[in-house]
Amino acid sequence: MRVAAIIAAAGSGSRLGAGVPKQLLEIGGRTLLERSIDAFRSHPLVGEVIVALSPHVPPPGSIEGIRIVSGGARRQDSVANAFDAIREDAEIVLIHDAARPFVSADVITRTIEAAAAHGAAIAAVAAVDTVKRVDAGNSIVETLPREEIYLAQTPQAFRREILARAIELGRSGVEGTDEAALAERAGHRVQVVSGEGSNVKITTASDLEAARERERVGSTVSRVGVGYDLHRLVEGRPLLLGGVNVPAEKGAFGHSDADVVCHAVTDAILGAARAGDIGQHFPDTDPRWKGASSTLLLEEAVRIVRAAGWTVDNVDVVVVLERPKLAPHRAEMEARLAAAIGIPEGAVSVKAKTNEGVDAVGRGEAVAAHAVALVRGVR
């Protein structure tokens, strides 16, 4: 399933009264736009990110992996311009407001899966207050059944052909407050999936201040991830472990440089942040990773989890290998891993074990590594 994400970021943000477009305002050192981009760029199911941006707004500092198109006079015009630029093989298209900088990977995943199953889906939260409909004179006309009322969020997601019809309807002159409304007008049912109260939209100055306060005082949580890797040992290959070339009669066979330590640590870090796994981000079917340095793959994985708001606290690794002995190389492995992850050497531990002659590892036919990573973030 090929997924593209459109970030709508061409609005002026006039209601905020900040003097600059609100998508350029910062929360915790990153702009609203950068946070929204990173949420989708780091998601393992999203293969393409396109930003609809006003020509008067400078592009974000890091545009690696994203495309920028000019926004239109209305939101639906901006989305239409971005839709024209997505890859032809995109099957599911997400649309997200740049002013919702705290969208989680879980909400993105739920919306994608619902669109794949039903054709169109939006994230939304159930109303908790009693809802009144009023007339022009502010008199109550009726009380609406609260259990039937949901407050729409983004992302919204659509099968490509459904979104194409919704956009075409918008281009014909029909106006909609969002693409889900246009899809409804085009005759499609739109599924609702659970949004999150934290997925707030920054509209007013008080919204921005509350978001900044949340970032300052937010609840810190820690998560643990586990990684494992094994490779056959063959003659004629170097034995790379934790970025260190260990002198040995045989080396590990694999698509990249087959560094089982880096691979296990990469999976542990990605798993702790619920950001996919090494096979999703660096598949062995992609020629870009042929012979690639596993240390660089580890660095990229760390960038992905940091973009999602996580910091790596520490890593513990067990290498299982019959020979050679790894004690002389442990300190260098720990230093290389610490440098790649961006944490102190004292936060990395590497231990070596043999398999006592049992199975392929014990017979000297393979090398394996287990890793545990602890990450921390504000949620």
Q: pLDDT of 316-337, one tens digit each?
A: 999 999 999 999 999 999 999 9
Report the C-alpha gap between 184 and 192 in whole angstroms. 13
Give the chain's domains with CATH numbers.
3-217 (3.90.550.10), 220-378 (3.30.1330.50)
Report the C-alpha gap between 112 and 119 in whole angstroms. 10
3-state per-residue secondary structure call for the chain: CCEEEEEEECCCCHHHCCCCCHHHCEECCEEHHHHHHHHHHCCCCEEEEEEEECCCCCCCCCCCCEEEEECCCCHHHHHHHHHHHCCCCCCEEEEEECCCCCCCHHHHHHHHHHHHHHCEEEEEEECCCCEEEECCCCCEEEEECHHHCEEEEEEEEEEHHHHHHHHHHHHCCCCCCCHHHHHHHCCCCCEEEECCCCCCCCCCHHHHHHHHHHHHHCCEEEEEEEEEEEEEEECCCCEEECCEEECCCCEECCCCCCCHHHHHHHHHHHHHCCCCCHHHHCCCCCHHHCCCCHHHHHHHHHHHHHHCCEEEEEEEEEEECCCCCCHHHHHHHHHHHHHHHCCCHHHEEEEEECCCCCHHHHCCCEEEEEEEEEEEEEC
In the chain, which stretches have pLDDT less than 70?
Answer: 12-15, 17-19, 60-64, 217-219, 378-379
Report the C-alpha gap between 53 and 254 in whole angstroms. 42
**Tokens linked to 315:** 């890593």
Q: Count the neighbouring beta carbons within 10 Å of the beta carbon of residue 58.
A: 9
Report the C-alpha gap between 179 and 152 in whole angstroms. 11
pLDDT of residue 61: 61
pLDDT of residue 57: 76
Report the C-alpha gap between 339 and 29 in whole angstroms. 23
Give the Å distances, CA to CA, from 143 to 128, 135, 152. 14, 12, 19
> Is 49:67 a contact under the CB 8 Å cutoff?
yes
pLDDT of residue 14: 66
pLDDT of residue 247: 96
pLDDT of residue 63: 66
Nearest to 124 by CA among 145, 92, 94, 154: 154
**Tokens linked to 70:** 């000019």
Bridge partners of 97? 8
Give the Å distances, CA to CA, from 338 to 183, 315, 345, 374, 376. 49, 9, 5, 14, 17
pLDDT of residue 211: 87
> Is 262:337 a contact under the CB 8 Å cutoff?
yes
Cα-flanking dihedrals φ and ψ of residue 22, to 5°? -65, -25
Radius of gyration of the chain (CA): 24
Which pTM does this prediction carry?
0.63
Say whether the peptide bond before residue 21 is cis (omega within 30 degrees of 0).
no
> Is 292:276 a contact under the CB 8 Å cutoff?
no
Specify the length of the chain in residues: 379
> Is 49:23 a contact under the CB 8 Å cutoff?
no
